[in-house]
Structure formats: structure tokens, C-alpha cells
Chain A
Amino acid sequence: MSTQLTLVQLERMAETIREDIIRMLERAGSGHSAGPMDLADIFTTLYFHTLRHDPKNPSWSDRDILLLSNGHCVPVHYAALARSGYFPQEEIMTLRQLGSRLQGHPERTKLPGLENTSGPLGSGLSQGAGMAYSLKYLDNQAHRWVYTVMGDGELNEGNIWEAAMFAGKYKLHNLIGIIDRNNIQIDGTTEDVMPLEDLKGKWEYFGWHVQEIDGNNIESIIDSLSMARAISNQPSVIIAHTVPGKGVSFMEYDYHWHGGAVGVGVPNHDQAKRALHDLRTLKGKIKGEHE
């Protein structure tokens, strides 16, 4: 089981995970930056506070399930798994390298702790719905929660809305969706590429309980997850408003840092250095401990 951390410790863990992500991406030389960075608070909260899980026994039969549907954000997932003790910390630096268990997009069969294989967008919520349906209606294990993290750009996919209808129909209260509402996707802002608003209204019309929160505020994340678990007759979704590239001044809000080549999308050595400085000093507001 995970150890309970204090709020301050959780916030520090999120910053540590962000630093891990920057180092992983610099070493990998490709991948995605903005999403993993802005999801650090959510993954920290899940792995170090909310999820019932056992890093020493990843297939524990009574565990909660966490699915990453937008697989390109997997660096944050790997970092959280390593910091939780699922695999040796130094292994995070093998991301995207030949022979690594840390594939560019997550593969369940490669690494203990992963519950699904994802990358092509839009499938995670359906998989989560299948799991939640099994637990609720077939296995009498509705006390186990299924969390699915999705991107906002990912909501362009029709598969998501098929899953939304399904979960609404079967009132899968044990399914909790978390949308990383960072407003960016590859070609620009979500509202320019394919508008999502009224996003809250859309989910409500599909039969879901909806909360909108500050997705970079761990206290809000804890509270919203707690609220979602108190809803007993419909699935829940948390629209987590996040700052893309959170914590790094030159990445924040800039959709070019969604992902891509070294220097534009993935940090080069100098950018990584500046990013780590930003993270350790709260973008220059405080003196870093290790500067």
C-alpha cells in the first residue's frame, strides 16, 4: 500500500516528478513535454494519496485501476510508478531506448504497473468502462475504482463518446474520468482545432457527474476525487484545468511544447537546465536548494 504523505510532501513529490520528466525527455531526445508536466499533480495525488495499490504486488487482486488513455503523456506515468517503487528509479532514464521496458507509448505487457496499452487516442475510457462494468456487475467488486486519465484534444475521438454513452447507460459509478483540460493539442488550441465547449454540458447530457477543478492544485484534486467516489448512481468526470508545461516558464501555455523535436517540443540540454532551474526555484521566485 502507498504511504500517506502530507500536502506539502505531495507538492514536493509533484515537483520531483516534473524534474524526472525533464531529465527523461532530455535523455530520450523525443516525446511529449507539456501534458506530462501538467499532469504531475494529478498522478502524484493518485499514486501517493488516492489509489489503493501495492507497488510490490502490481497485480494485487484488490487494487484500484488507473488507465492512461492519452498514452503520449506516459513520461509522467513512468515517473510516478518509479517514485512509488514499481521499478528501479534509474530505469526511467531508459525511456524510448532500444530494449527498454519504458516504450515510447505505454505497453501493458512490457512493464508491471501498467494496466493498458495506449497511444492511438480514444480507447482508454472504453477499456475503463469494460473494467468498471466487470467489477460492478460481474465480480461484485464495486469497491475497486477505475480511473481513466484522458487528454482534452483526445475528446475529438468518437470512441470517447461511445464510451461516455455506455458508461452513462450502465451507471458505472465506479468509473472516474479525469480530463487534462490544458487547452492545447498538436495543431494549436483545442478551441481552434475542434471546439470542445460546452464541455461540462456535454458530459452532463451523457449522464455523467461533472466537476471542474484546478488540476494543478493537489488539495482540489484530492477533494474532487473524494467527491467523485461519493457519487453512487452515475459515472464521474473531473475536468481538470491545467497549465500546459506547468512549472517551466518557457513551456507554460505554449502549444509548441506539446511535443515534437529536440528544442521545440522536447527540451535540449540547455533548455532542460533552465527547466530544472525553474522547477527548483518556482520560476525564480525562491532560492533553489541545489542551485
Chain B
Amino acid sequence: MSQMHLSADIGKVDIKSEPNRKGFGRGLKLAGDDDTNVVALCADLTESTQMSVFREAHPERFIEVGIAEQNLVTVASGMAAMGKIPFTASYSAFSPGRNWEQIRTTACLNDQPVKIVGAHAGVSVGPDGATHQMLEDIALMRVLPNMVVIAPGDSIEAEKATLAIAKNGKPSYIRLAREASPVFTTSETPFEIGKAYVLRQGSDISLFGTGVLTYQCLLVADILAEEGLDVEVVHVPTIKPLDEQTIVTSVKKTNLAVTVEEAQMAGGFGGAIAELLSEKCPTRLHRIGMQDRFGETGKPDELMKKFGFDANGIAKSVRAVINNHDSKSKEK
């Protein structure tokens, strides 16, 4: 869709690629330029979370907390009580993995605008293995009242999301990946907290993507178009609050929904869409995500392939859904 101002290089092998944490790093620095209340706290992972960009620009507002994730978010809660906008960064396996209760009590129930930045989420972390491949963060964060949950699609969107949560006055979680991923949006592409975006219109199936897997969904739409399937691709960077209207409008048109996420689908993004559709617009739904198991050691692309998160894997799952759907329709 032209008004989405997407990259002209989508589908090309040489599309620019960059980890979305880089966008977070730039966004946080800019947020700090804009507002002196923005402070950054890190748990000994300043370079890899890209908080280092803020530290270079605003060293007086950077606080090293050490490897202590419980302290990380509760110190941030105290700073928020003093009018600060604290961003906390670690790997998502540790924050929010280890400090969920502190986030629940001192940020969400206490209603302080602590920002949780969870880097290195998903199996694409690669060789570090299952301990570091956070897959439960979406479920953990989206059940918390007051919490906003965002999984940016690429580095440009991560930058916009970072700037947006610096101003939203609420506890917020941003999910980031370690690996470089295609930059399919541009500076002109709209981003607003709570909005989902139809990136490609179609009539046969609604393919809902979140995080960096939305790009794979765009590739899937091309693959399946050659097979005569008209796929609508909806990018849902904000998992909470969900853009109910955009999602429901799409499935009313296609009558078939598939969700795609690099996370446990139980309680995750697919879970959120399932809850919404079963209440507001019961529709046949298939979820693609981690199926109640942990990841494992391997190269990122090997793992994405193994778990069916690459375009070919997703296309295969969608074909199976369509075939099953068609045979059931014929039975009727």
C-alpha cells in the first residue's frame, strides 16, 4: 500500500539489514536529547543492548546497575516516582524473565512509567541456546494491567517505538532481537502505539505478523501469490493494546486468520489474537509460533528454518491450513 511508504527493496536479496536493537539505541539517544528526564539503566549489557549510544551522549544520565535485574527495575521505579522516564535494558531472558514480580508490583500496580527493553528475544539468538532464547516474554508482559507491549518489525520502527514510549507515561515493554533483519519500513511509514497496519491487501487470508517476522510474512505473500492465493499482510507491532478494529476488519474480509510470532504461541501474540477473535469475530485461526517447547543451539538461520519461522516454513504452514480449510468447506 503506497500510504505505508514501505521500502522499495522488499523481496530483494540486497535489502538493507540491521538488528532492531540498533534502532532502539538511536531512539533512546534522541529521546534523551528531547527530554532531560529520560534516564537509562543497564544490567551489564550496555553495548549489546545498544544503550551505549545513550551512554556516550548523556553519560550523566546513564546508570550501571550491574547484573541485578530485580534491582534494575525497582531502582527505575524509584526514579520514575521522582519524575524520571527510566529505560531499563537487559536480555529479555533476564528482564522481564527474572524480575517479573518487581515489574508487576513496582511498575504496573504502582503505575510508574518504567520502560523494559528486552533484547535478544526469540530463537534467532542462535548458538547461546535455549537458556538465552526468550520465548515467554510476550505472554509474561501482556497479562500485566497498565503494561504496553511492543515488538517492532525492524530497526526504523524500533526507533519510533522507543521515542513513542518515552512519551506515553506508562509502563512499557519493547521486545528486540539480536540478529540483523531486513529494514522494510522507512522513516515515512506510520507508527503509533496501539495501531496495526495492513501492509498488503488481500482477500483469501489474513496473515498477522509481529516483530521481525512480519517481513517473512511479506515474502510469504509473494510466494503464495504465485500459487493463486491473495494474502493480506497485517503488521501488529503493538501486542497490547491490540488494534481490534484493524484486525477484525481484516478477518471479516478474509474469514481466515494466521498469526506468526517468534515466541511461545500459548499466551503470546497468537494467544492475544485468538482471544480477540473468539470474542469479537469467531474465525478459523491458525497460530505459528513455538509449540510448547524450548529452543536449542544452532545458527540463527538454521533455527529459523527448523522451527518454521522463515518464509518457506510459514508458507508451508499456510498451505496446510488452506488445504485443510478447503477440504472442510467442501465437506459442508
Contact = CB atoms under 8 A, between A and B. Distances in A.
A126 interface: yes
A122 interface: yes
Interface string B182-199: 000000000000000000
Interface string A97-136: 0000000000111000001111110110011111111110
B63 A107 contact: no
B110 A166 contact: no
B59 to A, nearest CB: 12
A109 B77 contact: no
Nearest to B63: A133
Interface in A172-214: none
Contact of B79 (A108, A130, A158, A169): A130
Interface string A137-148: 111000000000
B10 to A, nearest CB: 43
Contacts of A115: 81
Given A126-B74, A133-B63, A162-B71, A109 B79 contact: no
Given A126-B75, A139-B82, A166 B66 contact: yes
B105 A165 contact: no
Contacts of B39: 138
A218 B152 CA distance: 56
Nearest to B68: A162
A107 B104 CA distance: 13
Q: Which of A109, A128, A137, A159 has the most CB of B within 10 A?
A: A159
A17 to B, nearest CB: 25
B245 to A, nearest CB: 30
Interface in B45-102: 60-61, 63, 65-66, 68, 70-71, 74-84, 86, 101-102
A24 interface: no
Given A116-B110, A138-B61, A163-B74, A131 B82 contact: yes
Nearest to B86: A130
A138 B78 CA distance: 13
Nearest to B101: A120
B203 interface: no
B81 A159 contact: no
Contacts of A139: 82
Contact of A130 (B66, B70, B82, B105): B82
A162 to B, nearest CB: 4
Contact of B110 (A108, A135, A158, A159): A108
Contacts of B76: 130
Contacts of A122: 70
A159 B74 contact: yes
Nearest to B74: A126
Interface in B170-216: none
A132 B81 CA distance: 11
Contact of A133 (B68, B70, B79, B111): B79
A168 B79 CA distance: 17
A266 B183 CA distance: 61
A117 B61 contact: no
B110 A117 contact: yes
B254 interface: no
A117 B105 CA distance: 7
B102 A130 contact: no
A129 B65 CA distance: 11
A208 to B, nearest CB: 15
B30 to A, nearest CB: 19
A145 to B, nearest CB: 13
B105 A134 contact: no
Contacts of A126: 70-71, 74-75, 77-78, 102, 106
A264 to B, nearest CB: 28
Nearest to A108: B110
A116 B106 contact: yes
A36 B138 CA distance: 39
B57 to A, nearest CB: 16
B109 interface: yes
Given A126-B74, A163-B74, A166-B65, A131 B79 contact: yes
Contacts of B109: 107, 109, 117
A93 to B, nearest CB: 24
B90 to A, nearest CB: 13
A120 B105 CA distance: 8
A21 B110 CA distance: 25
Nearest to A117: B110
Contact of B106 (A127, A134, A158, A162): A127
Given A109-B109, A116-B81, 10 more contacts: A116-B110, A120-B105, A122-B70, A127-B74, A133-B63, A134-B84, A139-B82, A159-B70, A162-B70, A163-B74
Interface of A: 107-109, 115-120, 122-123, 126-135, 137-139, 158-159, 162-163, 165-166, 169
Query: 8 closest A-B pairs (Cβ-Cβ)?
Result: A130-B78, A126-B74, A162-B71, A130-B75, A134-B82, A127-B78, A162-B68, A117-B110
